[in-house]
A and B are shown apart, each in its own frame.
Chain A
Amino acid sequence: DSGVTQTPKHLITATGQRVTLRCSPRSGDLSVYWYQQSLDQGLQFLIQYYNGEERAKGNILERFSAQQFPDLHSELNLSSLELGDSALYFCASSVRPGQGGLFFGEGSRLTVL
């Protein structure tokens, strides 16, 4: 158990819909990262937050957005969903950006039909 909690574990929805994925980092970790893993793309970095502020952006689509709240949990919002958005979405946390290793949650599996 990494200490990072993600909900929901599984989500099935239709094209065009909007979903929100939630992540609670390890106790004491200030930085949160989101990754997407689809079958043909491997692990893709989406976005990073540190203490509530956006720190870095990766390959995140404009239809996707995220935020980190004062209690340090984070949400990833995916809108206008397409079939190709079906993937595993992982959240990870670290004490501070670049410090030590990242600890990943078990992921949220999104299926878009």
Chain B
Amino acid sequence: DAKTTQPPSMDCAEGRAANLPCNHSTISGNEYVYWYRQIHSQGPQYIIHGLKNNETNEMASLIITEDRKSSTLILPHATLRDTAVYYCIVKSQAGTALIFGKGTTLSVSS
């Protein structure tokens, strides 16, 4: 599975959009981009995943560049409860388990 690069930390003001970037320049054609988050010591929470089209659900939007070498997770109106570590993972459907890196620690403040 391709490796990903994320900034170690980001800050966001409450009510503003949080845009979390992820680089995955070695992604293969059959690999999906997954986003998870972990709120302090809780179980990681699935957010969204996509292959090449942009995706949106009730939690977030995922924007994948046309060359698929990077993506951005967007939390449209961040709240204090969105403070967490966000993980971007690239994996094929045929792959086995998700392998977590260090992620981005997002701090949302009022």
A interface, CB within 8 angstroms of B: 2, 4, 33, 35, 42-43, 45, 48, 55-56, 58, 88, 90, 92, 97-107
Contacts and interface: CB of A to CB of B under 8 A. Distances in A.
B92 A2 contact: no
Contact of B97 (A42, A45, A106): A45
- Give the one of B43, B95, B98, B102 with max A CB within 10 A: B43
Contacts of A99: 93
Given A56-B96, A98-B96, 16 more contacts: A2-B43, A2-B45, A35-B100, A43-B100, A45-B98, A48-B97, A56-B97, A90-B43, A98-B91, A98-B92, A98-B93, A99-B93, A102-B46, A102-B98, A105-B43, A107-B43
Interface residues of B, number: 22
Interface string B68-110: 0000000000000000000000011111111111100000000
Interface of B: 34, 36, 38, 41-46, 49, 91-102
Contacts, number: 57
A102 to B, nearest CB: 6
Contact of B96 (A92, A97, A104): A97
A56 B94 CA distance: 12
Nearest to B92: A98
A100 B42 CA distance: 21
A92 B41 CA distance: 15
A105 B46 CA distance: 11
Nearest to A55: B96
